[in-house]
């Protein structure tokens, strides 16, 4: 008998192991999808997650009433992925004692890895902040402390238990070696010796993942500058390029000194003295003339939601995070707060007719839901099996994260 999904949740452990990124972000919004809103309509594939209201302070006796700004961020569930396979009655009979180990577990592993990589890649291409040198491994672990400083500057909650960093196996090995000369509690030294991994250090919970994404470095020619002053919003008009391409995930800063666009404290709105890093959200081809670059964060230079010290001045220099052609592959580890991003899962219907077996189940720790169906193609005597997952992701507070470039 083919072990049903509910009895073979030995598979949950690989789900948890594979979901290094997806298990450590917010997955509480899954229940908002598929439920009835109002009298009869479901929410659809996109919900709007409200963001906190911000106000400015009036230093006066008289009140200055402010309007309410209901800012939201979209969270979309639109990706259905599956692993499907078939086998004959003869194969099923002869291998019945090992069906899950031979076929089911690899299918669940493949799906959970796919979810994790897609969500992790989205996060590294959405987060504007970065530390380190693209294409060069960190020379010491101060880069991870600096990632924490960047998150602090964006008003990220400081509780260490909710701050994580996920790095590649090589980055983890380098970090362990560089920490060997530092003082640690005895149990931390023992754990690093036994596991070859950092546990909790530098204000972060550490994980390593083979799903750590890589980015492609930009290629460009010319001397890029801001084309026209006073710009706001999520598109920046530039000029001075002659050719090339800015891949999604390319970071850049604007200007310096008097022309610099700096980050500001979320409450006081005073400059931090650190240039704001912007990330290119969609791969952009470059040529002469005006090039509009889609960016995050959207530029807001005044008001309660101000996030930059000034609107980009006309002619301010555009400085990409790595010079053209210096590196083709940038490994992007990520430090983040659990509320920086969200992953959501949909509970696909399980039919009660036309199938031999059909089950669906949710792992309570990761929120991951998978559906399993088995049915017979009688004409060809083939037993068909499919594992399905419906998921999506979004950035709640991408500024509460920082790419570790390597």
The verdict on 14 and 129 lying in the same domain is yes
What are the backbone dihedrals phi and psi of residue 177, each rounded to the nearest 5 degrees, phi first?
Answer: -60, -45
Is residue 399 one of the residues assigned to a domain? yes
Q: How many domains in the chain?
A: 2
On whether the CB atoms of residues 329 and 135 are closer than 8 A, the answer is yes
What are the backbone dihedrals phi and psi of residue 258, each rounded to the nearest 5 degrees, phi first?
Answer: -65, -25
pLDDT for 100 equals: 76
Half-sphere exposure at residue 348, Cβ-oriented, CA atoms within 13 angstroms: 23
Task: Kindly write down the DSSP assignment for every residue of 140-172, as one continuous string.
Answer: STHHHHHHHHHHHHTT----GGGEEEEE-HHHH
Is residue 65 one of the residues assigned to a domain? no
Nearest to 336 by CA among 395, 293, 288, 275: 395
Residue 197 reports pLDDT greater than 60: no
Could you say which of 320, 355, 375 is where a domain stops? 320
pLDDT for 346 equals: 94
Could you say which of 294, 320, 346 is where a domain stops? 320
pLDDT for 221 equals: 96
The verdict on 76 and 128 lying in the same domain is yes
Query: Which range among 130-134, 145-149, 190-194 shows the weakest confidence by mean pLDDT?
Result: 190-194
pLDDT 10s digits, 342-394: 999 999 999 988 888 898 888 888 888 999 999 999 999 999 999 999 999 99
pLDDT for 128 equals: 97
Tokens of 405: 């470039």
Beta pairing class for 291-299 and 233-246:
antiparallel
pLDDT 10s digits, 16-63: 567 899 999 999 999 888 765 555 567 788 999 998 888 989 999 999
The verdict on 336 and 252 lying in the same domain is no
The verdict on 9 and 103 lying in the same domain is yes
Is residue 163 one of the residues assigned to a domain? yes
Cis geometry, peptide bond prior to residue 297 (ω within 30 degrees of 0): yes
pLDDT for 376 equals: 93
How far is it, in rounded angstroms, from Cα 306 to Cα 271? 11
pLDDT for 4 equals: 46
The sign of the torsion formed by the CA atoms of 35, 48, 390, 404 equals negative
The residue with greater pLDDT, 295 or 198, is 295
pLDDT for 3 equals: 46
On whether the CB atoms of residues 123 and 401 are closer than 8 A, the answer is yes
CB within 8 Å of 140: residues ≥ 6 apart: 178
How far is it, in rounded angstroms, from Cα 236 to Cα 291? 8
Is residue 81 one of the residues assigned to a domain? yes
Could you say which of 320, 353, 379 is where a domain stops? 320
Tokens of 119: 């969500």
The verdict on 27 and 90 lying in the same domain is yes
Q: What is the CA radius of gyration of the chain?
A: 24
Residue 182 reports pLDDT greater than 60: no
Q: Kindly state the average pLDDT of the residues 146-163.
A: 94
Is residue 34 one of the residues assigned to a domain? yes
The verdict on 282 and 388 lying in the same domain is no
Q: What angle do CA 308, 311, 316 make, to 5 degrees?
A: 110
The verdict on 12 and 33 lying in the same domain is yes
- The model's confidence at residue 95, banded by pLDDT at 50, 70 and 90, is confident
The CATH number of the domain holding residue 267 is 2.40.30
pLDDT for 263 equals: 97
Residue 189 reports pLDDT greater than 70: no
Average pLDDT, the chain: 88
The verdict on 299 and 248 lying in the same domain is yes
pLDDT for 7 equals: 41
pLDDT for 394 equals: 96
Nearest to 211 by CA among 392, 333, 106: 333
Q: Kindly state the average pLDDT of the residues 268-276.
A: 94
Which residue range is the domain that position 340 belongs to?
1-52+70-216+329-406
Residue 271 reports pLDDT greater than 70: yes
pTM, 2 dp: 0.89
pLDDT for 198 equals: 63
Query: Which range among 66-70, 228-232, 337-341 shows the weakest confidence by mean pLDDT?
Result: 66-70
The verdict on 90 and 196 lying in the same domain is yes
The verdict on 208 and 117 lying in the same domain is yes
The verdict on 118 and 74 lying in the same domain is yes
On whether the CB atoms of residues 219 and 187 are closer than 8 A, the answer is no
pLDDT 10s digits, 231-258: 999 999 999 999 999 999 999 999 999 9
- The model's confidence at residue 101, banded by pLDDT at 50, 70 and 90, is confident
Is residue 59 one of the residues assigned to a domain? no
The residue with greater pLDDT, 390 or 105, is 390
Is residue 63 one of the residues assigned to a domain? no
Nearest to 167 by CA among 334, 35, 313: 334
The verdict on 27 and 99 lying in the same domain is yes
How far is it, in rounded angstroms, from Cα 309 to Cα 300? 9
Is residue 58 one of the residues assigned to a domain? no
């Amino acid at each position: 008998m083919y072990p049903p999904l509910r009895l073979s949740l030995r598979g949950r452990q690989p789900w948890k192991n594979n979901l290094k990124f997806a298990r450590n972000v917010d997955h509480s919004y899954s229940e908002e999808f598929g439920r009835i809103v109002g009298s009869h309509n479901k929410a659809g594939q996109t919900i709007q997650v409200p963001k906190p209201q911000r106000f400015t302070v009036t230093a006066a006796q008289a009140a200055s009433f402010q309007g309410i700004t209901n800012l939201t961020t979209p969270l979309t569930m639109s990706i259905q992925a599956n692993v499907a396979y078939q086998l004959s009655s003869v194969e099923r009979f002869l291998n019945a004692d090992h069906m899950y180990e031979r076929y089911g577990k690899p299918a669940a592993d493949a799906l959970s890895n796919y979810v994790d990589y897609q969500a992790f890649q989205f996060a590294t291409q959405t987060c504007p902040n970065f530390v380190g040198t693209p294409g060069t491994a960190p020379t010491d672990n101060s880069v991870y402390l600096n990632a924490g400083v960047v998150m602090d500057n964006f008003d990220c909650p400081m509780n260490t238990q909710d701050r994580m960093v996920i790095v590649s196996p090589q980055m983890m090995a380098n970090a362990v070696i560089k920490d060997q000369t530092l003082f640690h509690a005895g149990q931390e030294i023992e754990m690093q010796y036994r596991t070859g991994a950092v546990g909790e250090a530098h204000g972060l919970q550490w994980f390593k993942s083979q799903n750590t994404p890589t980015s492609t470095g930009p290629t460009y020619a010319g001397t890029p500058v801001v084309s026209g002053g006073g710009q706001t919003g999520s598109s920046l008009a530039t000029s001075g390029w002659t050719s090339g391409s800015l891949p999604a995930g390319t970071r850049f800063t604007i200007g310096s000194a008097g022309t610099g666009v700096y980050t500001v404290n979320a409450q006081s709105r005073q400059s931090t003295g650190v240039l704001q890093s912007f990330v290119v959200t969609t791969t952009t081809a470059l040529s002469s003339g005006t090039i509009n670059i889609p960016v995050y964060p959207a530029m807001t230079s005044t008001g309660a939601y101000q996030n930059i010290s000034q609107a980009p001045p006309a002619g301010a220099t555009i400085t990409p995070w790595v010079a053209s052609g210096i590196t083709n592959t940038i490994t992007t580890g990520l430090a983040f707060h659990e509320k920086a991003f969200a992953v959501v899962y949909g509970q696909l219907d399980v039919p009660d007719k036309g199938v031999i077996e059909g089950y669906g189940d949710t792992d309570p720790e990761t929120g991951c839901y998978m559906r399993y169906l088995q049915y017979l193609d009688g004409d060809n005597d083939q037993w068909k099996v499919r594992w399905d997952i419906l998921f999506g992701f979004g950035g709640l507070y991408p500024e509460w994260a920082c790419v570790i470039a390597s």
